[in-house]
A and B are shown apart, each in its own frame.
Chain A
Amino acid sequence: MNTNQDILLTIAATLRSFLDPLLGNPDVVDVTMYGVALAAILGIIFGNAVILVWAERKVAGYMQSRPGPNRVGPIGLLQTVADTIKLITKEDIRPKGVDRWVWFLAPVVLFVPTLAAYAVFPFSEGLIAVDLNIGLFYFLAVASTVTIPFLMAGWSSNNKYSLIGGMRSVAQMVSYEIPLVFSLIGVVMLVGSLKMSSIVEAQSGIWFIFLQPVAFLIYVIAATAETNRTPFDLVEGESEIVAGPMTEYSGMKWSLFFLAEYANLFAVSAIATTVFLGGWQPPPMPAVMRDAVAFIPGWIWFAAKTYFMIFLFMWFRWTFPRFRVDQLMSFGWKVLLPLALANILVTGVGIYAYRIAIGG
């Protein structure tokens, strides 16, 4: 533990000591604190979406030599707020032929795995909602169900473009989930644990991006596909199938899809930060400099690295053309998967050789 306490941890401890005499029962306090953590995560997701929508349009603007949103608020910062108000006041149209319940539930269900995944993100030392022993595996398991709401939306809309989009989402997400999982296995083998805090602590000497560069590359590609972003945005490819599963949605339901997209983008970036970029730890540096930056709390480092990853994903979006469906499939199965398997083999042999070398 650090000597200088993290301000967010201090707040949590103060809240706990305030609730203790108020509620009496320690179990009730625990449950309440889980509620506080949930509220904090919701705050991160919503606040983040507001910033990311603005950031995406600004980045797009700079990539295309134009200013981007710049009318509402300083440098256009309040643009998303204005857009949100517009979306809330829009009419919520329900087409006649939709499968009522499934159609209504799809954008709501979409949010469940996303929200559940945030529970295991180590924002800083000790700043994690639930530090599960199987943290990373839990994230992968929860993330694997994201396909279902897309298919629900695509099928229930009773629209051929929506259904094509839904079917594409199954093909794409299931195919790219496998290299995604395999790319993380190399790191898990090095750490010997699935616990998020252990994975971060194991990187105090060297970040895993340097030990597992191929795995990082595979992860970034597969994560782009999992979040349905360009060059893998075939699911909603607007020049081919209108907006894929979202075609028939309007108003607040449509904006829920939008919100979930940015929440997922933050999620995959946070996992990349945790697994490959050292999580909440400052970059490796000489001891003198380490003391100089010791006052910066872990969550600042975590946020900085995560936003760098998000910028990278936005950069991809505005510089790469979209894949074709057959290219998407052959690239996933014939390039990424063998590469990920080879990476696991090399990592295993490397660990074995290292153990022999140090005589363990």
Chain B
Amino acid sequence: MNETVYVIAFYILAAIVLFSAIGVVVLKNIVHSALLLALTFVGVAGIYVLLNADYLAAVQVMVYAGAIAILIAFGVMLTRRPNMKESNPFNSSAVVGFVVAAGLFGTMAWAILTTTFPLGLTAPTDEISVRGVAKLLLEDYTVSFEAAALLLTVAMAGAIIIAKGAKKA
């Protein structure tokens, strides 16, 4: 496809990502925020597609956007306010939050601007990218991959025990 289509698609996706991300922060209703968060993730997945990273885009949709439903479920279950319209309120940390966010943005902008990105001569094909990810995870970084898996399993088992209440030994 030609350049124009890419440029148009990029600006549409970028607008979706930015506006829905602003909505996540600004909106007062926590369910609305969560739904817009899903839209943000889908928009980011679209940008991955434009970068020829199809596999990453699918992972983004499956892991992040797909899990939003669970986030909303928790949001509904854990907010015990009579009025959902004020379930995502602002508080006095707004100034501190702004400073931290500005600092993070400055650091990231500095890092991105000072890095030179090497341009590959050949575009990686997706067949290789799936294989490449598998090779990295299961050969080169097996130990850290397995450690992460173990940690997640332990955390999940712990959460279930805390929620259900373990029998006293």
Partners in one complex: yes
Which residues of A approach B to under 8 Å, CB–CB? Answer: 25, 27, 30-31, 99, 101-102, 132-134, 137-138, 140-142, 144-145, 147-148, 151-152, 155, 163, 167, 170, 173-174, 177, 193-195
- Is B35's CB under 8 angstroms from A133's CB? no
Q: Mark B125-161, 1 if CB is under 8 A from A, else 0.
A: 1110010000000000000000000000000000000
Residue B47, interface by CB 8 Å: no
Name the distance in Å between B5's Cβ and chain A's nearest Cβ. 7
In the assembled complex, the Cα of A152 lies from the Cα of B76 at a distance in Å of 11
Contact of A194 among B68, B73, B130 (CB under 8 A): B130
Nearest 9 interchain pairs by C-beta? A144-B66, A133-B126, A141-B62, A141-B58, A147-B69, A141-B61, A27-B2, A170-B73, A144-B62
Residues of B close to A137: CB separation below 8 A: 55, 58, 62, 130
Residue B24, interface by CB 8 Å: no
Name the distance in Å between B76's Cβ and chain A's nearest Cβ. 6
Additional A-B contact list (12), CB under 8 Å, known A163-B76, A170-B69: A31-B1, A31-B5, A102-B32, A137-B55, A141-B59, A141-B66, A142-B61, A145-B65, A152-B35, A170-B73, A174-B70, A177-B66
In the assembled complex, the Cα of A194 lies from the Cα of B129 at a distance in Å of 12
Which residues of B approach A to under 8 Å, CB–CB? Answer: 1-2, 5, 29, 31-32, 35, 38, 42, 54-55, 58-59, 61-62, 65-66, 68-70, 72-73, 76, 84, 125-127, 130
In the assembled complex, the Cα of A193 lies from the Cα of B72 at a distance in Å of 34
- Is A30's CB under 8 angstroms from B58's CB? no
26 A–B contacts from the bound complex (CB under 8 Å): A27-B2, A31-B1, A99-B31, A101-B32, A102-B35, A132-B54, A133-B130, A134-B130, A137-B58, A138-B58, A141-B59, A144-B61, A144-B65, A145-B38, A145-B66, A148-B35, A151-B69, A151-B73, A152-B35, A155-B31, A167-B76, A170-B70, A173-B69, A193-B127, A194-B130, A195-B127
- Is A167's CB under 8 angstroms from B73's CB? yes
Residues of A close to B73: CB separation below 8 A: 151, 167, 170
Contact of A133 among B29, B69, B127 (CB under 8 A): B127
- Is B54's CB under 8 angstroms from A148's CB? no
In the assembled complex, the Cα of A167 lies from the Cα of B54 at a distance in Å of 31
Most buried by A among B31, B65, B73, B130: B73
In the assembled complex, the Cα of A128 lies from the Cα of B133 at a distance in Å of 27
Least CB separation from B3: chain A residue? A27
- Is B125's CB under 8 angstroms from A133's CB? yes
In the assembled complex, the Cα of A25 lies from the Cα of B155 at a distance in Å of 56
- Is A140's CB under 8 angstroms from B72's CB? no
A-B contact count (CB 8 A): 77
- Is A174's CB under 8 angstroms from B69's CB? yes
In the assembled complex, the Cα of A148 lies from the Cα of B58 at a distance in Å of 17
Residues of B close to A145: CB separation below 8 A: 38, 42, 61, 65-66
Residues of A close to B72: CB separation below 8 A: 148, 151, 155
Least CB separation from A171: chain B residue? B73
Residues of B close to A167: CB separation below 8 A: 73, 76
Name the distance in Å between B167's Cβ and chain A's nearest Cβ. 19
In the assembled complex, the Cα of A30 lies from the Cα of B4 at a distance in Å of 14
In the assembled complex, the Cα of A141 lies from the Cα of B2 at a distance in Å of 27
Most buried by A among B2, B42, B62, B126: B62
Name the distance in Å between B128's Cβ and chain A's nearest Cβ. 9
In the assembled complex, the Cα of A184 lies from the Cα of B126 at a distance in Å of 19
Least CB separation from B126: chain A residue? A133
In the assembled complex, the Cα of A215 lies from the Cα of B86 at a distance in Å of 47
- Is B55's CB under 8 angstroms from A134's CB? yes
In the assembled complex, the Cα of A151 lies from the Cα of B73 at a distance in Å of 8
Residues of B close to A163: CB separation below 8 A: 76
- Is B54's CB under 8 angstroms from A102's CB? no
Residues of A close to B84: CB separation below 8 A: 99
Name the distance in Å between A146's Cβ and chain B's nearest Cβ. 9
Residues of A close to B1: CB separation below 8 A: 27, 30-31
Name the distance in Å between B131's Cβ and chain A's nearest Cβ. 9
Residues of B close to A99: CB separation below 8 A: 29, 31, 84
- Is B58's CB under 8 angstroms from A102's CB? no
Name the distance in Å between B138's Cβ and chain A's nearest Cβ. 12
Residues of A close to B66: CB separation below 8 A: 141, 144-145, 147, 177
Name the distance in Å between B79's Cβ and chain A's nearest Cβ. 12
In the assembled complex, the Cα of A344 lies from the Cα of B83 at a distance in Å of 48
Residues of B close to A174: CB separation below 8 A: 69-70
In the assembled complex, the Cα of A27 lies from the Cα of B125 at a distance in Å of 21
Name the distance in Å between B127's Cβ and chain A's nearest Cβ. 5
Residues of B close to A25: CB separation below 8 A: 2
In the assembled complex, the Cα of A222 lies from the Cα of B61 at a distance in Å of 20
Name the distance in Å between B106's Cβ and chain A's nearest Cβ. 34
Residues of B close to A140: CB separation below 8 A: 58, 62
Most buried by B among A141, A144, A163, A173: A141
Name the distance in Å between B110's Cβ and chain A's nearest Cβ. 34
